[in-house]
A and B are shown apart, each in its own frame.
Chain A
């Protein structure tokens, strides 16, 4: 079953604008990760944020985590055409079960030049 749900499902913005994607999940987690997928390619890891962290930065990316609301957000600042891709959140669930990540359905981001 899906753990994460990204919102919105699709987002189209102008180059240079900021893009924000949200992820909600259902159960307790060890960490939450964000991945990017370009068309026809595998997923690429962007950021891992642990359950005891609230915010993390990597270049133009900023991720926040609110475990009380079971939600996370990914902010891409000063977007570029090359940021066009699908973005997925994935959770490492702490409740036992299969060892692996549970992925959401993704947000498809389009950067208009």
Chain B
């Protein structure tokens, strides 16, 4: 049982480049989400989805896009990378949003130069 799988583990981008962070879960969870973790800031919610075809914004959505075409996958797209997006990104899933425990991937460490 793989749980939540994130790829890549590390990525370096130049300012203005775009990329997609991949997230897949095999637990049949309806809820999936993306957080970013910055030093001294804890985790902040970027976008989330309560089911296939449904996405919504979290606390810090600017500069990011998401889509949810299947229950399993929830990719996060950086449209035009900026140094302020240097962070560690975590994907997490659960049965029922914040009402149940979140299962986290191991993160993607992104550096934008």
Contact = CB atoms under 8 A, between A and B. Distances in A.
A99 B48 contact: yes
B42 A92 contact: no
Interface-centre pick from A4, A31, A102 (highest chain B CB count, 10 A): A102
A2 B42 contact: yes
Given A41-B106, A44-B104, A45-B103, A99 B97 contact: yes
B101 A33 contact: yes
Interface string A1-29: 11010000000000000000000000000
B contacts with A: majority SS? strand
B106 A103 contact: no
B60 to A, nearest CB: 10
A105 B43 CA distance: 7
Q: Which of B41, B57, B101, B105 lies at the interface centre, i.e. has the most chain A CB atoms within 10 A of its CB?
A: B101
B58 A98 contact: yes
B90 interface: yes
Contacts of B107: 40-42
Contacts of A42: 4, 90, 92, 104-107
Contact of A105 (B33, B40, B48, B101): B40
Contact of B33 (A93, A100, A106): A100
Interface string B1-20: 00010000000000000000
Interface in B54-70: 56-59
A22 to B, nearest CB: 15
A30 B76 CA distance: 28
Contacts of A98: 45, 48, 56-59
Given A42-B105, A45-B102, A93-B98, 8 more contacts: A4-B42, A40-B107, A42-B90, A90-B98, A98-B45, A98-B57, A99-B97, A102-B45
